[in-house]
Amino acid sequence: MKKKIVVAICGASGSIYGIRLLKALLNMPTEVFLSVSAAGKKVMVHETAYTGGSPEAFLKSEGIVPHPEARLRVYEPDDLFAPPASGSFRHHGMIIAPCSMKTLGAIAAGIADDLIHRAADVCLKERRPLVLLTRETPLSLIHLENMQKAVRAGATIMPPCPGFYTRPRTLADIVDGTVTRALDQLGIETDLIRRWGDKDLV
């Protein structure tokens, strides 16, 4: 079955991670199911060249040329009839990049009041991979306890903390490192970075 990945972008700083993740996935024969929260769109406007139009048009303007067999399907957060809202919809996992503390709190509390929260809740109950690129610092006890609850329920918590052993030279290199490690959690291989053990690295 073609890889089907659910992606969400929430209202934390770091929308560049979600955009780079989409670019990486759409360069493969992958079907991507995307939802961007209202706050996520506002942050994208502030942090990127996004002007509030359709995500598809923005990705095209960013020079993203999808693989011939790639598909991007975009759903509004209030669309609880979208495929990822149902446990009977089969997919290979979900990544929320970035994941706000509000979204983390909703997931940890089992509050499925929109498509993003519901899709994450479905991943947990169906035992599918759920990767949360949580973005906040410093972390309060509430944040840490919510992370603990999410991990116990089956999520992977992945704050976008860069590793420097790959010797990144640009911001894009740092972002690619985080995106690669996030995709590793879903068993998706990329060649975005050099890895530990590569002859030209060690």
What pairs with residue 94 in β-bridges?
A: 6, 130
* Helix, strand, coil percent content, the chain, rounded in steps of 5: 40, 15, 45
Does 37 carry a binding-site annotation? Answer: yes
Does 71 carry a binding-site annotation? Answer: no
Does 17 carry a binding-site annotation? Answer: no
pLDDT at 62: 86
pLDDT at 1: 67
Does 135 carry a binding-site annotation? Answer: yes
- Name the architecture of domain 3-184: 3-Layer(aba) Sandwich (3.40)
Residue 202 binned pLDDT confidence (cut-offs 50, 70, 90): low
Residue 201 binned pLDDT confidence (cut-offs 50, 70, 90): low
Residue 197 binned pLDDT confidence (cut-offs 50, 70, 90): confident
Phi and psi of 57, rounded to 5°? Answer: -65, -40
Domain boundaries, the chain: 3-184
Whether the predicted pLDDT of 55 surpasses 70: yes
Does 137 carry a binding-site annotation? Answer: no
Does 166 carry a binding-site annotation? Answer: no
Does 11 carry a binding-site annotation? Answer: yes
Residue 81 binned pLDDT confidence (cut-offs 50, 70, 90): very high
Does 75 carry a binding-site annotation? Answer: no
Using DSSP, state whether 7 is helix, strand or coil: strand
Does 103 carry a binding-site annotation? Answer: yes
